[in-house]
Amino acid sequence: MTSLPKKTQKKLGLVTDLDICVGCHACAVSCKEWNASGHSAPLTDSDAYGKDPSGVWFNRVHVYETDDGHNTRTVNFPRSCLHCEQPACVTVCPTGASYKREEDGIVLVDAEKCIGCKLCSWACPYGAREYDADDGIMKKCTLCIDRIYNENLEESERQPACVIACPARARHFGDLGDPESDISRLVEQRGGYALMPETGYQPVNKYLPPRPRKDRAGDTGTTDHLEAAEDSSSGSSFFSWLDKALSR
């Protein structure tokens, strides 16, 4: 059914810290590695070693530059499915292949039902869905559904592959529907935000903004103004005369 559940018991999702993401693409590569043999496998590549490679990825890392007129900043920005509360990618699906789970809010595609009409990818403003031309069906982030509930894995490993792979600990996984969860607290403390809120899709995933930069004297606790050191050459002393004489 492509009608949405009125309420989901949990809102599982990711929080990405843009302040500490180093843009190493480990999340994207690790995601590709796990999911290439996971729930939505394979994530087909074409011309992988040729001149024009393309393929299905659930995670894409952009790099942006911001410019406030004085300073520029580089912000690394991983982009993946936000498991929205109002995902139009689900409601536009004509077959019922796309669905949002009532128990945890994860948005998935049923590979047996998808006809590959691509309309869901048109309905997603976040570019979360990528079509697999080989399989003829749409694919998307599963929030590593085959990891997070997988009892064959150590409990510490029951997290999405991207979260585990991140060497900077910029990615966090948890229940964003529970205000007491660690991840919700993190969002609260750091002013986490949703992307393109004007779409009304209500993304579950949140992003933590880059922290304000300490780029002025004073920001770091030092005095914000330093007096210029006295210029010894300006006096009419003997040494000044000597300096001039020797500089000739």
Partner 1 sequence: MDPAYSVILFTSASGAGYGLIAWLAFTRLSGFWQLSPLAAGITCLVALALITTGLLSSTFHLGHPERAWRAMSQWRSSWLSREGIFAILTYPAALIFTAGWFWSIIPASIMNAAAAATLLLSVITVISTGMIYASLTTIPRWNNAWVVPVYVALAIASGGLLFSIALAVSGAANQPTMVLMMAVLLVSWAVKWAYWRYIDRQSPASTTATATGLGHLGQVSQLEAPHTSENYLLKEMGFEVARKHATKLRRMALNFGLLLPGILLVLAGVSNGLVQLALLALALCFGLGGVVIERWLFFAEARHAVTLFYGRSL
Out of 7, 22, 96, 214, the only residue in the binding site for partner 1 (CB under 8 A) is 96
Q: According to the binding rule CB under 8 A, does residue 52 interact with partner 1?
A: yes
Whether 44 and 133 have beta carbons less than 8 Å apart is answered as: yes
Which phi and psi angles does 197 have, rounded to 5°?
-60, -20
Beta-carbon neighbour count of residue 18 at 10 Å?
19
Q: According to the binding rule CB under 8 A, does residue 137 interact with partner 1?
A: yes
Q: According to the binding rule CB under 8 A, does residue 85 interact with partner 1?
A: no
Least Å from the CB of residue 31 to partner 1:
12
Least Å from the CB of residue 218 to partner 1:
20
Within residues 145-174, the interface with partner 1 by CB under 8 A covers none
Least Å from the CB of residue 167 to partner 1:
18
Q: According to the binding rule CB under 8 A, does residue 73 interact with partner 1?
A: yes
Whether 17 and 210 have beta carbons less than 8 Å apart is answered as: no
In angstroms, rounded to a whole number, what is the distance separating the alpha carbons of residues 143 and 171? 12
Q: According to the binding rule CB under 8 A, does residue 235 interact with partner 1?
A: no
Q: How many residues does the chain have?
A: 248
3-class DSSP state of 67: strand
Whether 163 and 21 have beta carbons less than 8 Å apart is answered as: no
Q: According to the binding rule CB under 8 A, does residue 181 interact with partner 1?
A: no
Piece of 93-101, 146-154, 179-187, 240-248 that binds partner 1 (CB under 8 A): 93-101
Q: For residue 145, what are the contacts with CB-CB under 8 A and spacing of at least 6?
A: 39, 106, 108
DSSP 98-164: EEE-TTT--EEE-TTT-----HHHHH-TT---EEETTTTEEE---TTHHHHT-TTS-GGG-S-HHHH
In angstroms, rounded to a whole number, what is the distance separating the alpha carbons of residues 39 and 41? 6
Piece of 114-122, 155-163, 167-175, 217-225 that binds partner 1 (CB under 8 A): 114-122
Closer by beta carbon to partner 1, 133 or else 153: 133
Least Å from the CB of residue 137 to partner 1:
6
Closer by beta carbon to partner 1, 117 or else 168: 117
Q: List residues binding partner 1 (CB under 8 A).
A: 1-4, 18, 28, 52-57, 60-69, 72-75, 77, 79, 88, 90-97, 113-119, 121-127, 130-133, 135-138, 193-200, 207, 209-210
